[in-house]
């Protein structure tokens, strides 16, 4: 079964740090780009970060650029989000999500985010 499982969430004080992990199983993790998405309580989805399959391309939302660092370890089928200088507005459920895609002939076409984890909750509060 294709699965993503986040871990590492919790309660942290403003200015603190947290490292989220996402364990992938049931598919060839090293072939897929990945994303982090969060959802604050009662709010919509906010895309945070994207990493290509080989880590050569990494994008960040402006809201987290310079504070969050996304990385992956394909040998461990794992994705990470290092979050520093956390603020109250970072309180949210954090999801990792696979960027779907497929080859059509020799070209690779990206799809949407087709596999999501259950999320891990981060609360930033004193």
Partner 1 sequence: DIQMTQSPSFLSASVGDKVTITCRASQDIFNYLAWYQQKPGKVPKLLMYSVSTLQPGVPSRFSGSRSGTDFTLTISRLQPEDFATYYCQNYYNSPRTFGLGTKVEIK
Residues in the chain: 126
Report DSSP letters for 77-113, one per residue. Answer: TEEEEEE-S--GGG-EEEEEEEEEEEEETTEEEEEEE
Tell the smallest beta-carbon distance from residue 63 to partner 1 (Å): 9
Q: Which of 29, 35, 70, 81 binds partner 1 (CB under 8 A)?
A: 35
Positions 60 through 119 that interact with partner 1 (CB under 8 A)? 60-62, 95, 97, 99-100, 109-114, 116-119
Residue 50 binds partner 1, judged by CB under 8 A: yes
Q: Which residues of 1-26 are buried (b: 16+ CB within 10 A; e: fewer)?
A: eeebebebbeebeeeeebebbbbbee
Q: Is 5 in the site for partner 1 (CB under 8 A)?
A: no
Q: How far is the CB of 62 from partner 1 (least distance, A)?
A: 7
H or E segment to which residue 3 belongs: strand 3-7
Name the residue nearer to partner 1 (CB basis): 37 or 122. 37
Site residues (CB under 8 A) for partner 1? 35, 37, 44-47, 50, 59-62, 95, 97, 99-100, 109-114, 116-119
């Amino acid at each position: 079964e294709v699965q993503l499982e986040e871990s590492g969430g919790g309660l942290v004080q403003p200015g603190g740090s947290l490292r989220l992990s996402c364990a992938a199983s049931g598919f060839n993790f090293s072939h897929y780009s990945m994303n982090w998405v969060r959802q604050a309580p009662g709010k919509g989805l906010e895309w945070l970060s994207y990493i290509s399959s080989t880590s050569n391309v990494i994008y960040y939302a402006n809201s987290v650029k310079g504070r969050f660092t996304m990385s992956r370890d394909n040998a461990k089928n794992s994705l990470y989000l290092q979050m520093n200088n956390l603020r109250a507005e970072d309180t949210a459920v954090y999801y990792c999500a696979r960027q779907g895609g497929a080859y059509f002939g020799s070209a690779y076409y990206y799809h949407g985010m087709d596999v999501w984890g259950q999320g891990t909750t981060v609360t930033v509060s004193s």
